[in-house]
Every structure is written in C-alpha cells, then in structure tokens.
Amino acid sequence: MPLFAPARWVTWRRARDQAALARLNTDEMRRQIIGAVARAYVTVLAQRRLIDVQERARNNAAAHVDFAAGRFARGAGSRLDLLRARQAAAVIDTQRESLRLGLARAREALGVLLGEEGEVDLPEDTLVAWPKAEATEVQGAASLRRRKDIAVAERKLAYLKRSLQDDWTDYAPALTAIAQPFHQNPATLTQPEWGWAAYLVLGVPLYDGGARYGAATERRALLRQAEIALEGLERQVRSEVRVATQALERSRATLGAARESARIAREALQLADKAWRAGATTNFEVLDAEVRLRDAETVVSQAEDSVRQSEVELKLALGVWPRGPAH
C-alpha cells in the first residue's frame, strides 16, 4: 500500500483531466455535426424553393401554350407564337428535372448526416427550435463561453498548467508499506512455522538520465503552445461572429431588394400578357417577361437561402444550440 506516492496521485489526476477533456471533445464534435446537419437542411430547403419557382413557371408556361394553341386554331395567332411557347415550356421542364435531381442529392446527404438509410426531408419549421441569435448577443465574453471548442481549449490549458505545477512530484520520494504472511516448514530458531512480516520502503529518485528535466521542458512548451492556440481561437471566433453578423445584415437587405425586383417583374408580366391577349404585341414580350420573372423569383429563393445560411452560421459562431426535437 502506497502511503506517500505523489507521482502516482498526479498520474491519476491527469487521467481524470484527460477523461473530462475527452467528454468536452465529444460535445464539440456534436456541435460540428449539428452545424453540418443545419447546413444540409438549408440546402434541402433552398432546392425545394427553387423547384417551387419552376413549378409556378411551368404552370404559367402551360397556360401560355394552351392560349397560344387556341389562338392558332382560331386563326388569330401565328404558329411561331405557339412554337415559342412550347419551347419555353420545354426549357422549364429541363431545369425542373435538374433541380429535382439536386434535391434528391441534398436529401441523401442529409440522411447520411442523420444516420438514416435513404432520403430525409425535415419540416420547414425545424430551425424555429433554435434560440434567437441576433447581433445584440455578439458583444461580451459570454458569447465565447458558449463555444465548445473554446471550452476544450481552456480546459486543456488548465490541465497543462496544473501538470507543470506538479513537476515537483518527479523529484519527491515515495513511501510504501508492505505486509505479507509466511509459512516455514520446518520452523527454525529465527523463523516460526506461521507468521507475518511488515516493511516500510522509502524510495528516493536520485538519477534517471535527465528524463525529468526533459519532461518539464516539454510541458512548458506544450503550455505555451496551448496559450497561443487559445488566443488564436478566441480571435478567430470573434472574427466569425463579426463576419456572420455582417453577412446576415447584408443578406436581409439583399432579400428585400430581390422581393421588390420580383414584384416589378410580376407586374411587367401581367402588362405584357394583357397586351398580347389584346393582339397589340407578339408573345415574344410575354416570354421575355416570364423569363425575367422566373429569374427574379429564383434570386428571391437564393436570397432567402442566404438569409437562412447566415442565421445558421451566426448561431454556430455564437455557440447557440438547438432546443427540443431539433437537438
């Protein structure tokens, strides 16, 4: 039984610190997986939005084809108008199928991250379960404390400091108590047949070839490395928060402009359609207006995707974790 063994005690405490550090690393890996799932989910949602745009455009194109065919059958329209309308509808069909393939790939990627077999499609309100992460939360050191990677780096630094402070144990003696029974047959004058013996053994490390000095030098170097790593990580996190905050503000402004552009394009299409139905123009202006509206609605979908991506990045930068079923 060791009565005084500081080197062994320190080894046990270091192992306990390593176990705590491993648990924190598990939380950090979970945070990274949650971020990957959130990004994949936003990609799925963006693909669905783009398909919705193509579906609306396909419905408009089908109505356009029907009207052009009716006019051509009555002799009021030209075959050129009908061919243009059919060609525009075929282009939309091609783009829609390409987007459907992209949606299937995005759902498969989401399924892989969630550990599911096959495609996964989450409800549209999944991100609502995340706490709010606005620019007002950016200031202060509290935002950094929520980051699991910061917690891991801080715990590692504390562990290395304590490990360096325990260098004296490499030079400390060790006192061990030893008790053992014995049996001697036949007994002698100095040793009975049955008995026991107890010893106190004191060990003093005098020379180990310089291993203790080398270990101390290595611990000091690792401590300095951990200090620099933590400082750099905190600077990087603050930068990520600033960039994510600016990206969210810019993407929201872009979304407002994109929605206004789509509104104008929708109104222009209505005017061009009325003029064509009245016989004042050809359907070339209508097709051009439909393409512009489709492009404008696509930009709106992309801007909405950018806003959602920016919100996710800001929440991850602040270390905000989802609650409830989304976790």
The CATH number for 274's domain is: 1.20.1600.10
Distance of alpha carbon 33 from alpha carbon 326, whole angstroms? 12
Going by pLDDT thresholds of 50, 70 and 90, the confidence category of residue 143 is: low
CA-based nearest residue to 152, from 323, 292, 27: 27
| 180 within a domain of the structure (yes/no) | no
| 256 within a domain of the structure (yes/no) | yes
Looking at residue 129, its pLDDT comes to 53
| 196 within a domain of the structure (yes/no) | no
C-alpha angle 141-145-150 in degrees, rounded to nearest 5: 115
Distance of alpha carbon 100 from alpha carbon 21, whole angstroms? 44
Please give the structure tokens belonging to residue 79.
């075959």
pLDDT at 326 over 50: no
Going by pLDDT thresholds of 50, 70 and 90, the confidence category of residue 175 is: very high
Distance of alpha carbon 322 from alpha carbon 130, whole angstroms? 4
pLDDT above 90 coverage of the chain, percent: 14
| 244 within a domain of the structure (yes/no) | yes
pLDDT at 323 over 60: no
Q: What mean pLDDT is predicted for residues 32-38?
A: 85
| 183 within a domain of the structure (yes/no) | no
* Per-residue pLDDT tens digits for 214-245: 988 998 999 999 999 999 988 888 888 889 88
Q: Give me the number of domains the chain comprises.
A: 1
pLDDT at 322 over 70: no
Going by pLDDT thresholds of 50, 70 and 90, the confidence category of residue 250 is: very high
| 210 within a domain of the structure (yes/no) | no
Domain hosting residue 296, numbered range: 2-171+215-326
pLDDT above 70 coverage of the chain, percent: 91
* Per-residue pLDDT tens digits for 84-123: 778 888 888 888 888 889 889 988 988 888 888 888 877 7
Going by pLDDT thresholds of 50, 70 and 90, the confidence category of residue 128 is: low
| 181 within a domain of the structure (yes/no) | no
Distance of alpha carbon 246 from alpha carbon 205, whole angstroms? 60
pTM confidence score: 0.69
Q: For 214-219, which contacts have Cβ atoms below 8 Å and span 24 or more sequence positions? A: 215/167, 215/170, 216/164, 216/167, 216/170, 219/160, 219/163, 219/164, 219/167
